[in-house]
Amino acid sequence: MATPLTVSAEEHDDGTPLLVAAGEIDLSNIETFSRALTTVIASAGDAGGRVTVDLSAVEYLDSAAIGALSVHADQAPGLRLLANPYLMPVLRISGIDQLATVEPAEPDPG
């Protein structure tokens, strides 16, 4: 059974927009994810176009998610992805790491 997607928009202490996603991102919920990305990127004007997308709690993403990240990377030149370490190979192979800064998320100490 698929893990439902949850997204929430937050801000870093410095005011930089942050989108936190958890669960699975696929064709069934890509509209929700894309809409959240669009909203967060639109709010990044005051942050110089810098946006962080926290994918550390994303367990799976498909080609629809890769496509959405690619499109939005073009719109936010300062896009930074914090990814679940399991997703790092997919993000590298897809070339997302050439469009955005991609970093492995720190492991949860708990």
Retrieve residue 28's tokens: 């069934």
User: pTM, whole model, 2 decimals?
Assistant: 0.90
Name the H helices within 1-110. 30-42, 63-75, 88-94, 96-99
pLDDT tens column, 58-75: 999 999 999 999 998 888
Query: 6-104 in CATH: which number?
Result: 3.30.750.24
Retrieve residue 81's tokens: 């992805």
Sequence spans of domains, the chain:
6-104
pLDDT tens column, 33-67: 999 999 998 887 765 678 999 999 999 999 999 99
